[in-house]
Amino acid sequence: MKKVSPFYLLLFCTNFVFQFTHAQKTNHLTKDSVIQFIFTSDVHFGLVKDKFQGKTNVTAFDVNLAMVSVMNHIGGSKFPNDNGEQSNKFIKGIDALVITGDIANRMEYGVQTATKSWAEFKTVFIDSLHILNAKNKKSKLWLMPGNHDMSNAIGFHRPMIPKKDPASMLGIYNLMIPNKPVKQFDSSLCRIHYSRDLNGVHFIFLSLYPDSAERVWMEQDLKKVAPSSPVFLFAHSIPDVEPRFFENPNGIHDINEEDKFENLVPERYKDGKDVKGETTFEQNAFVAFLKNHKNIKVYFHGHENFTEYYKYQGPNKDINLNCVRTDSPMKGRLSVKDETKLAFELVTINTNTGKLTVREILWNALSNGNPNEFKWGALENLDLK
């Protein structure tokens, strides 16, 4: 047997390693790494819709169940031939469903209890939700509270029956933070905030609004995140937050019918004494935080109940934060009058290219109850790099 020179053996091995490494790098760069999630908000169990799919006085239970039925049929559908990420390709999996609060409606004017609303929510969004990720496993469900959930738990300046019911707050907390379950809700201790990671993207879920307490928590959380990793914030409130959400600056700082502050975040209102004032001080503190964390790329929120993709610029117009707001199945600004405008968002991210596409899905466009007959609505492309 002819001997192989050590020199040629070394050369062969070096060439093999180089080609293997190059192939691995090439595959990494060319193979799509896709994250996808559905985004909705303000599901408001306890409300009734005047008209829906040919019926009148339809409960939130039935409306949300119809929306979930469409979500269950999204997988395997085809993206439109547009300029968005994964254009004209089949939807291969949904990693998560995100709902930014107002699970239960506030218990005013005979609206059912938060306890009943949370039970209905679980039936619809846990028992009846069957969306799957690309590995054919059940998708994640990520929740956070809205102002209605919080007011039910701590009380409100108008009469509610009962005066307090923390069921949806307790339910959200124990579902999202299962390693620290609680039986009694204490708003000063049970802050519902947490974070998750998917393929190099960091998701932060906040308790209503990025107030000073949430920013302290986020500072610690972001220490574990590489500056190059894109970060998404999810909250119920709009970034130009309303004064009423803050702690009452008047008297004994309580919730009362005269002042109308709701004491939903543990930060006292600093822009005056009137609940109809501005939130310049509070917003500027948030803007300063954003400037120190430039990898925060998108802010997702509900509360105002219509689809819009826009830039938040802050009180001094010195920031440009990408924002995505979405429709409500029960209180949509447009869809409450035109049920064909009922919508949720499908977000697709290619983590290799840094391209994000958010597409509006008009899930009741034909008003006939067929979960396969949705329409594609608005589209927005964002660059995460």
Along the 385 residues of the chain, how does pLDDT read in single tens digits?
A: 445 454 444 444 444 444 434 333 333 333 569 999 999 999 999 999 999 999 999 999 999 999 999 999 999 899 999 999 999 999 989 999 999 999 999 999 999 999 999 999 999 999 999 999 999 999 999 999 999 999 999 999 999 999 999 999 999 999 999 998 888 888 766 789 999 999 999 999 999 999 999 999 999 999 999 999 999 999 999 999 999 999 999 999 999 999 999 999 999 999 999 999 999 999 999 999 999 999 999 999 999 999 999 999 999 999 999 999 999 999 999 999 999 999 999 999 999 999 999 999 999 999 888 988 999 999 999 999 8
**Coil, helix or strand for 117?**
helix
Q: Number of C-alpha atoms within 13 angstroms, CB side, residue 181?
A: 4
Torsion region of 109: left, alpha or beta (phi above 0 gives left; psi -120 to 50 gives alpha): left
User: Are the CB atoms for 153 and 169 separated by under 8 Å?
Assistant: yes
CA distance 338 to 117: 25
**Tell me, what's the pLDDT at 270?**
96
**Tell me, what's the pLDDT at 31?**
52
**Tell me, what's the pLDDT at 136?**
93
User: Are the CB atoms for 323 and 298 separated by under 8 Å?
Assistant: yes
